[in-house]
Amino acid sequence: MPRAPVANLWQGILPALVLMAGFFLLPILYTLGLSLTSEGAPGLTLANYQNFMAEATLTDALLRSLILALSVVAIATLIAWPLAWYLAFCVSARRRVLLLFVLVAPFWTSFTIRAFSWQMVLADSGIVGTVMRWVAGPDASLGFLYSLPASIFGLTLFGIMLITLMIYSSMVTIDRRLIEANAVLGGTGWTAFREVVLPLALPGWIIGAALTFIVAVGDYAVPTLLGGGLQPVLAQVMLSVLKGTYDLPMAATLASVLVIVILLCVAPLLLLVRGTRLQS
């Protein structure tokens, strides 16, 4: 076997390293640090966080972001498990590619355009509202657009796609003989799911749920276009600070709160992945 020519192969990572360190890692660390400073006060201080906790509009926004993200993950999970099962075990391999494509394709286009198209459908004057007036009379009003449930709805569709995809990728790697063994031992479809598929596909769900949570808790387009501006989520408050008062330490604090929320909610999930890996 010919020996590889001598070369400093690690040099290949240099451009990526410079980019990621200089424009991703340092900015985020700097932002976290900035949230601990305050104009007029030297040194590090928790004043920004105390101000955050004392301001009801901010804590309300945080609460809404949490309700939004957790509801999206919960509802999407309930729909994603059966969908992934269907894709992994009920259709032929050829058809599977087509169906996966059908599910994923709409999400290649921007959140903004998809959220806007839902605005047209969900508005009181939109398709759903019009059908409702045909069915329930001219006084029927949908009143769904510009509310937290409308934001939840919009992001849940994204969550269904992502979580289904992740669970599915775990399910297809499961050795079919395990499921056959379950059937030979008298197991039904339900026990096959509970005893074999669920534990083995759980890591896929965890990754899908974590990514969905992150997108939902940090999204700005859907809460603005479907949720409206009267009951803002954290992301909307953040943007209005940055485009309005331009109070950078405040913006940094809101961003840091988002980081903390994500770490608190996602870290237990990731520990769970590690736990399931150790078991199997």
Partner 1 sequence: MTGAITTRALALLFWVTAAVIYLPIGVMAVFSFSTARYQILPIPAYTTEWYGRVFTDGQYSAGFFNSVLLAGSVSLAATLIGFACAYSLVNARFPGKTAFTMLVLAPLAVPLLLVGIALRIWTTMLGLQPSLPLAGVGQVLYVLPLAVLNLRNRIAQLPKSHEEAAWALGASRLRAIIDVILPACRASLIATFILCFTFAFDEFVIAYFLTNFSVTLPIKIWTTLVTGFDPTINALGTMVFAFSLILGVTAQWLLLRKDR
Stretch 261-280 residues interacting with partner 1 (CB under 8 A): 262, 266
Q: Does 120 bind partner 1 (CB under 8 A)?
A: yes
Residue 20 binding partner 1, by CB under 8 A: yes
The minimum distance between CB 155 and partner 1, in angstroms, equals 12
The stretch among 40-48, 49-57, 135-143, 257-265 that binds partner 1 (CB under 8 A) is: 257-265
* Comparison of 53 and 121: residue with beta carbon closer to partner 1: 121
Give how many residues touch partner 1 by CB under 8 A. 90
Q: Does 245 bind partner 1 (CB under 8 A)?
A: no
Q: Which of 44, 53, 112, 175 binds partner 1 (CB under 8 A)?
A: 112
Q: How far is the CB of 236 from partner 1 (least distance, A)?
A: 10
Task: Considering only the stretches 45-53, 56-64, 109-117, 165-173, report the one whose residues sit in contact with partner 1 under the rule CB under 8 A.
Answer: 109-117
Q: Assess 260 for contact with partner 1 (CB under 8 A).
A: no
Between residue 156 and residue 215, which ones bind partner 1 under the rule CB under 8 A?
A: 157, 160-161, 179, 183, 189, 192, 210-211, 214-215
Give the residue carrying structure tokens 């700005």: 220
**38 DSSP β-pair partners:** 41
Least separation in angstroms between residue 275's CB and partner 1 is 19
Q: Give 251: exposed, middle or buried? Use CB within 10 Å, 0-12, 13-18, 19+.
A: buried
Q: Does 126 bind partner 1 (CB under 8 A)?
A: yes
Among 53, 55, 125, 271, binds partner 1 (CB under 8 A): 125
Judge whether 252 and 269 are in contact, CB under 8 Å: no
Binding partner 1 by CB under 8 A: which of 46, 74, 110, 260? 110
- Exactly one of 68, 165, 217, 222 binds partner 1 (CB under 8 A); which one? 217
Alpha-carbon gap, residue 218 to 267, rounded angstroms: 17
Contact 221, 112 (CB under 8 A): yes
Supply the minimum distance, in Å, between the C-beta of residue 280 and partner 1: 21
Residue list 64-103, contact with partner 1 (CB under 8 A): 79, 82-83, 85-87, 89-90, 97, 99, 101-103
